[in-house]
């Protein structure tokens, strides 16, 4: 039987291996997405640790959600998912920065 990953199978699928194929112009020190300081994340923000297609979100040892957006592919999912909770400050990267699709 073929390994179908996560829920249905064995080895977890790593997103990092996919991202290193991509090209980015990182705007060092100016992340385009910021998480507002929080004690406990909402269910929506927590879901982003699984839902972000670039794996930008993780939970720290105090249970708060953190983001490292260098690998962000600018899909906007996290913005839509947390629109109600207001936990994110989401902007496009400055013109010319961010992900650069060769094929799209």
Residues lying near ligand SF4 in the complex (CB under 6 A) are found at: 33, 52-54, 56, 69, 72-78
CA distances from 74 to 9, 36, 45, 58 (A): 29, 19, 17, 17
Which of 22/40 has CB closer to ligand SF4? 22
Q: What is the CA radius of gyration of the chain?
A: 15
Q: Which stretch binds other proteins (CB under 8 A): 34-42, 58-66, 95-103?
A: 95-103
* 21 CB-near residues (< 8 Å, 6+ apart): none
Spatial CA neighbour of 32 closest among 85, 100, 98: 98
Residue 26 engages other proteins in binding (rule: CB under 8 A): no
Candidates 10, 22, 35, 36; binder of other proteins (CB under 8 A) is 22
Rounded Cα gap, residues 44 and 78, in angstroms: 9
- Residues making contact with other proteins (CB under 8 A): 2-9, 12-13, 15, 18-19, 21-22, 25, 44, 47, 50-51, 53-55, 73-77, 79-81, 83, 91-96, 98-104
């Amino acid at each position: 039987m073929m390994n179908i990953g996560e829920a249905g199978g064995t080895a977890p699928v790593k997103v990092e291996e996919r991202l290193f194929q991509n090209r980015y112009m990182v705007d060092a020190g100016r992340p385009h997405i910021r998480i507002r300081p929080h004690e406990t994340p909402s269910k929506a923000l927590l879901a982003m640790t699984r839902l972000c297609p670039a794996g930008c979100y993780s939970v720290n040892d105090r249970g708060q959600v953190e983001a490292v957006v260098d690998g962000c592919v600018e899909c906007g999912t996290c913005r839509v998912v947390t629109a109600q909770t207001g936990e994110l400050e989401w902007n496009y990267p400055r013109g010319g920065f961010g992900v650069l699709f060769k094929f799209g």
